[in-house]
Amino acid sequence: MSETTPRQDLELAIETRKELGAEREPEVVEAFLDRIDERLAERSHADAKALKAKRDHQKEMILGSMGISIPLLAIAAIFTGLAGVIAVCAALAVIAVVVSRSE
């Protein structure tokens, strides 16, 4: 089945209605609406998959930065004290914000 645009589907439905007459109009309209519903369902499914992929990526980035933060916090605490720990925490916060805002 070839992909058609919604406009082409509508034009086809109108032409079909003209050929078949008013008595078959409900069937033509139902078929047109079914095609529109299928397209909306496909888009919704694609959007859901894209959202899941984005959330999975965000989760990986956050968990990765948290894993790296453990040794960084230890090193910062040993060599620079509280200022280093605060700097590492600030960097983690920046990573979290950037990842959550990225597309």
- Could you give the 3-state DSSP secondary structure of residue 23? helix
Task: Determine contact, residues 83/75, Cβ cutoff 8 Å.
Answer: no
CA distances from 31 to 9, 10, 20, 69 (A): 10, 10, 14, 57
Whether this prediction's pTM lies above 0.85 is answered by no
Do 9 and 32 meet the contact criterion of CB atoms below 8 Å apart? yes
pLDDT digits (tens, 9 = 90+) for 70-87: 999 999 999 999 999 999
Confidence of residue 14 (pLDDT cuts 50, 70, 90): confident
